[in-house]
Amino acid sequence: MFARRDKPGLIGRIRNFLFPRGGLRRGYMYIWHRAKRISASPHKIALGFACGAGVSFTPFIGFHFILGGLFAWLLRGSIVASAFGTAVGNPLTFPFIWWATYNLGGYLLGYAHRGEIHIALPHGVWKALFTDPARFGHMFWDALGPVIVPMLAGGVPLGILAGAVFYALVRPAVERYQERRRRHLARRITRQEAAE
């Protein structure tokens, strides 16, 4: 009944994923409204969102949901809000996040500043994945370790800073939303009682 008449092909689905027809602002507003409506205290929602935003600064792409949820659980924040917070790291913000974490981490570790990052996997690395996994691990780490270590070293302080900023922004917004909602429900109950 609610299915689309003209189903997009693979290229259309990819284009809609990267550039939604309603715009990216609409997607972010949806995430924001969903995060505000989580049934938890403003502190828990803001803490969970901050955990998700903070882990977006780590180089562990693909594990941000898990890491955000784990940190939210350890700090007793909202795990659902942490999932929404990971939207801070997205295809539009990742280039800036990676540049900032890599350069800050390189500075903290005393590496020479590099404007560009070159990653070259050695010849035969994918064959080693199936024939000699231990050798594959060494080859992979030798190629990516010099990039991941500074990104992690820079991502921790930037992630903590981003988490603190998002906590400070989200908590009062959720408090205002929940207070408005309580007043609205109280007025509705008063009207229903008066009608009876």
> What are the pLDDT digits (tens) for 95-105?
899 889 988 98
Inform me whether the pLDDT recorded for 165 exceeds 70: yes
184 Cβ contact list (under 8 Å, min separation 6): none
Compare 51 and 185 and report the one with higher pLDDT.
Answer: 51
The tokens describing 12, both together, are 């259309």
Compare 144 and 93 and report the one with higher pLDDT.
Answer: 93
Share of the chain above pLDDT 70, in %: 84
Of the given ranges (92-96, 115-119, 146-150, 155-159), which has the lowest mean pLDDT?
A: 115-119
Inform me whether the pLDDT recorded for 169 exceeds 70: yes
Residue 18: band (very low, low, confident or very high) from pLDDT cuts 50, 70, 90 = low
Element (DSSP H or E) covering residue 96: helix 94-109
Of the given ranges (58-67, 104-113, 160-169), which has the lowest mean pLDDT?
A: 104-113
Inform me whether the pLDDT recorded for 2 exceeds 60: no
Inform me whether the pLDDT recorded for 124 exceeds 80: no
Rounded Cα distance between 18 and 21, Å, is 10
Of the given ranges (14-28, 50-64, 144-158), which has the lowest mean pLDDT?
A: 14-28
Inform me whether the pLDDT recorded for 37 exceeds 90: no
Inform me whether the pLDDT recorded for 4 exceeds 80: no
CB 37 within 8 A of CB 80: no
Residue 140 has what DSSP assignment? H
Q: Of how many residues is the chain composed?
A: 196
Longest dimension (CA), the chain: 80
Q: What are phi and psi of 4, to 5 degrees?
A: -70, 145
Average pLDDT over residues 44-69: 92
Q: What are phi and psi of 143, to 5 degrees?
A: -80, -40
CB 45 within 8 A of CB 170: yes
Mean pLDDT of the chain: 83
